[in-house]
Chain A
């Protein structure tokens, strides 16, 4: 059995160091972020033509919004560990005298932040291009929905990214693995959002859907924490 490393920086210090490295890399290149933002806008345009609607309301609006977020997040997940792999940073991370879960936590936080930026941008573009009703204060309820959904997406995303980096077909497998796994989050988020996107925005059943996403988050955060050391390997 493997031994836990006793020396080296603490979990928090190691996590923050990796997170800082990832954020600096992303802010300097803006590679993934620009790609996902453009992808999001393009997807909204595609939906405009595919559905042949100028404005979306209610269920349909919530569905289009969240499906777009899920597809865009699959792009980010693809890049999450692949970057490390192609440049040999992965081996260095594994050789470093740190708890493996620091890698998990750092990557999860990075993905979480990336998704938050993506959602703020996507919401702005969505209200401009497709959303029927004007933004109201009720739509602030999107904040807890997005935060809880992002925790779930970030956890599963990091796990799947770790699984996929070992394979020879990683770009192919990431969306195939994430889409079914994201369905419970999609259900919770889309159902909670649909009443916010009605012509007269209302907060309906928010707690029920938030607790569904929270349950999902709790289960997968615990599993990820228990299992991630096996994902990255020896």
Chain B
């Protein structure tokens, strides 16, 4: 509202040559991506040949090694998006805004995968696609709905600086909401329902637990690799747009 804004300030910090941002995001992308591929391969091998076949769920239980780590990484990604938003508000460095945006964007996409794999698993092990009595499932859906508004909200703001600032505020509020929501939903369920999965794997056989931890590392590496990749892609395409504008 106050001073006129030019598009060039969007996602590139003033006073710093914008080329550095793409290079800065690309740092470490290749080793992380390779590590992610290796970790995913190891997870696959462990899940199918090392972890024992579950006594009552059989092969169907294997989706656990995809669904649960992805869900944990997605929630941490949402939370990290809030922390990065806070960092933007403190430093006013638009690179943090881009980081926060990409983190939430990526977690939202993975969130769809988590909901779908969760529904599949629920169908095979409980016989229904959706179970209201499972607080983790319900909490995840609420968080997902909340973050689904992030993008429509963000792109309904025209001024680039206001957009970054308001999106950062929203990401911080939602980041704080994630743990509160899990507490509230869990409290609302009387805990008679069998806890099929405790995140720490308290009642898992140790082979399964090791596989689970490897899967968690793989999912984390995958998230970071995709996040960095998207950051590079976004900042390069913005650079390209800027150059095109200069030519026109």
Contacts and interface: CB of A to CB of B under 8 A. Distances in A.
A223 interface: yes
Contacts of A219: 176, 180
Interface in A135-188: 156, 159, 162-164, 166-169, 173, 176-177, 179-181, 183-184, 187-188
B48 to A, nearest CB: 38
A44 interface: no
A52 interface: no
Interface size classification for chain A: 20 to 34
Contacts of B248: none
A169 B156 contact: yes
B169 interface: yes
Nearest to A211: B187
A163 B166 contact: yes
A173 B173 contact: no
B51 interface: no
Q: Most chain-A CB neighbours within 10 Å: which of B145, B162, B173?
A: B173
Interface stretch (B10-18, B125-133, B146-154, B231-239): B146-154
Contact of B184 (A162, A176, A187, A220): A187
B184 A188 contact: yes
Contacts of B159: 166
B8 interface: no
B172 A183 contact: no
B173 A234 contact: no
Contacts of A230: 89, 165, 168-169
A223 B181 contact: no
Interface in B160-200: 162, 165-166, 168-170, 172-174, 176-177, 180-181, 183-185, 187-188
B157 interface: yes
Given A167-B153, A219-B176, A183 B169 contact: no
A45 interface: no
Interface size classification for chain B: 20 to 34
B145 A167 contact: no
Given A187-B188, A212-B187, A227 B89 contact: yes
Given A167-B157, A180-B146, A227 B184 contact: no
A233 B142 contact: no
A147 to B, nearest CB: 18
Contacts of A75: none
Given A183-B142, A219-B180, A223-B176, A173 B149 contact: yes
B147 to A, nearest CB: 9
A92 to B, nearest CB: 13
Contacts of B142: 180, 183
12 contacts: A91-B1, A163-B153, A163-B170, A167-B153, A167-B157, A184-B185, A188-B184, A191-B188, A212-B184, A212-B187, A223-B172, A230-B169
Interface of B: 1-2, 89, 142-143, 145-146, 149, 152-153, 156-159, 162, 165-166, 168-170, 172-174, 176-177, 180-181, 183-185, 187-188
Given A156-B173, A231-B169, 7 more contacts: A177-B146, A184-B177, A184-B185, A187-B185, A187-B188, A216-B184, A227-B172
Those 5 A-B pairs whose CB atoms lie nearest each other, nearest first: A184-B184, A167-B156, A180-B146, A169-B156, A187-B188
